[in-house]
Amino acid sequence: MFNWVKAHRQGRLTGADIKPVTPEQMEISRLRAELARVKMERDILEKATAYFAKASS
């Protein structure tokens, strides 16, 4: 266990599930987050449009 702690302190210990992330994967992740945000904004605007169209009738 001492060796594990020592390796962790030196930054040589990584988890089994940690994989290097490529720039393309980072870009895909960023674009997916942006798409989700834009879809949410669109849905809000659609609901607001329907609400105000209904209120003005």
In sign, the C-alpha dihedral spanning 48, 51, 54, 55 is: negative
Residue 6 falls inside a structural domain: no
What is the phi/psi pair of residue 19, to 5°?
-125, 145
Tell me whether residue 15 is in a domain. no
pLDDT digit string (tens) for the chain, length 57 residues: 888 888 878 877 666 666 778 999 999 999 999 999 999 999 999 999 999 999 877
Residue with tokens 């009738």: 57
Q: Determine the Cα–Cα distance for residues 10 and 6; give it in Å rounded to an integer.
A: 6
What pLDDT is recorded for position 21? 85
- pTM, rounded to two decimals: 0.60
Written as six digits, the tokens of 33 are: 């987050």
Residue 29 lies in a domain: yes
Question: Tell me, what's the pLDDT at 28?
Answer: 97
Which residue range(s) make up the domain with 34? Answer: 21-57
Side chain identity, residue 9 = R
Cα gap 18→38, rounded to integer Å: 30
In a domain, 11, yes or no: no
